[in-house]
Amino acid sequence: MRFGVNTWVWVSPLTADELKRLAPLVKGMGFDWIEVPLESLSDLDHKAGAKIIADQGLGVSTCAAMGPDRDLVHPDPAIQANGMDYIRGCIDATQALGGTNLVGPIYSAVGRVWQQTAEERAKDVDTLVKNLRSLSEYAGDRGVVLGIEPLNRFETSFINLSTQVVEVVDRVAHPSCRIMLDTFHMNIEEKSLGAAIRAAGPRLCHLHACENDRGAPGSGNVTWNEVAAALRDIGYDGPVVIESFTNKVKSIARAAAIWRPFEASQDALAQNGVNFLKKLLAA
């Protein structure tokens, strides 16, 4: 496994200057992976970012930020089209950065919730499958894999469970469309974190290892031994990435409902988290 951290732990947005500061810090903490948020495709020169990351010997993944005007199942065709353009841009950015995995809730805007009948949901799933199939073909041509992430009920009403994302990914039926799971969201929605991981099985390409309060993994009530056993059972050997946020960056703090610090410092959150995860998931 590769152990990583998302730069949202410290900053938003991520610029080249911030990446120059953070990449050696991340490496020095014992991580071998860094995750780059793509809030805007213009925040970071991606080729320059690739060199900064490669110079530290780090692996890299990216995560999409789905906002109100980026939505693959929105009833407004213009918003759908903008969402498709944004994800294609994210795929290009991932390739330029030297990464493979582009992960996140690649379906609808975070925070958009809407009630659906069974028929309405089926129609939205049909739309998503069609759009993800097109994006997967684009990604596959560029050596990129999409990791589709379920979110908790407060952030979406559409895909909350591992079994729901399995249905979508199996219908897309493309090797560049796989699954990302996040223990923060799973801890809210799943009856069993282990069962959710086993349901994803070989489709799982990425894991966000996050505590129930977004603090350092190992400091809360996530059933980590159950997570570790399930990852071993499915033979998972992909990235394990800590995703948390700083309350100092107001835009992302509001979106993620981060109102207070979770550890003595953001550095402590990352360091304590990676120490715990390496011990937990040691071969």
3-state secondary structure of 3: strand
Residue 149 annotated to the active site: yes
Alpha helices (runs of H) in the chain, residue ranges in sequence order? 16-28, 46-55, 77-97, 118-140, 162-172, 183-189, 193-200, 224-233, 250-256, 266-280
Which tokens belong to 246?
């700083």
Catalytic position from the list 35, 149, 190, 263: 149
Which tokens belong to 230?
């399930």
Residue 243 annotated to the active site: yes
Tell which residue, 230, 208, 229, 211, has the closest CA to residue 220: 211
Q: What's the CA gap between 9 and 183, in Å, rounded?
A: 16
Task: Judge contact between 14 and 63, C-beta under 8 A.
Answer: no
Task: Label each residue of 224-266 as H, E or C.
Answer: HHHHHHHHHHCCCCCEEEECCCCCCCHHHHHHHCCCCCCCCCH
Q: What's the CA gap between 149 and 199, in Å, rounded?
A: 14
Catalytic position from the list 39, 155, 211, 243: 243
Residues noted as catalytic: 149, 243
